[in-house]
Amino acid sequence: IGQLCAQVALAAGATVVMVGRSRHTEQLALARRMGVTHTVDSETTDVAEYVKGLTDGYGAHTVFECSGGSGVLEGVMPLLRRGGRIVLLAFFRTPPAVDVDRLLNHELELVGSRGKRASSYRTALRLMAQGQVDVEAIVGAKLPLDEWDKGIELVGRGVKVVLEVRPE
């Protein structure tokens, strides 16, 4: 989801910063190959300082949270400028904590997004047809259905897996 979100943001002309952890080295490298010029390992880099450096101290206009990871949402607010927007694309296993005081005082907007409208599909298909979104590039493995267990293990490491049903 994060890779696709980054491609759409690039197509819209945004400066994209892809954030991951040390275990996401391959995914960050893929993002760079797809045109993301700013990739950050949050375990070794202060992401808020990095973003402030890119934005003359203002902070990001919008942050798309695509991981649903525990504690991630709490770390997003310091990345945003006053009046910034957080777009939630991921589901969370446990309800995230939200600093409502910061949300109010910095006039932040919190938006949920599922992309299930007909217009979302039309936009996606148009961007794919124009070569601005490459869905094939994000597939890390194509496996036969009977290797689903290997696929699950790869998904746990953040790899996009397509299980293929092959006729017998």
pLDDT by residue (tens digit) across 78-105?
Answer: 999 999 999 999 899 899 989 999 999 9
Instruction: Please say whether the beta carbons of 31 and 6 come within 8 A.
Output: yes
Strand duo 139-144 + 17-20: pairing? unpaired
DSSP 133-163: --SGGGEEEEEEGGGHHHHHHHHHTT-EEEE
Report whether pLDDT(168) > 90. no
Strand duo 109-112 + 80-88: pairing? parallel
pLDDT band per the 50, 70, 90 thresholds, residue 159: confident
Sign of CA dihedral 64, 159, 19, 11: negative
Report whether pLDDT(158) > 80. no
Per-residue burial over 123-142, b = 16 or more CB atoms within 10 Å of its CB, e = otherwise: eeeebeeeeebbeeebebee
Torsion, Cα 133 137 140 141, to 10 degrees, reads: 110
pTM higher than 0.95:
no
pLDDT band per the 50, 70, 90 thresholds, residue 21: very high
Q: What is the pLDDT of residue 116?
A: 85
Give the distance between the most distant pair of CA atoms in the chain: 61
Mean pLDDT, range 139-152, rounded to an integer: 94
pLDDT tens per residue, range 23-38: 889 889 999 999 999 9
pLDDT band per the 50, 70, 90 thresholds, residue 157: confident
pLDDT tens per residue, range 107-118: 999 999 988 889
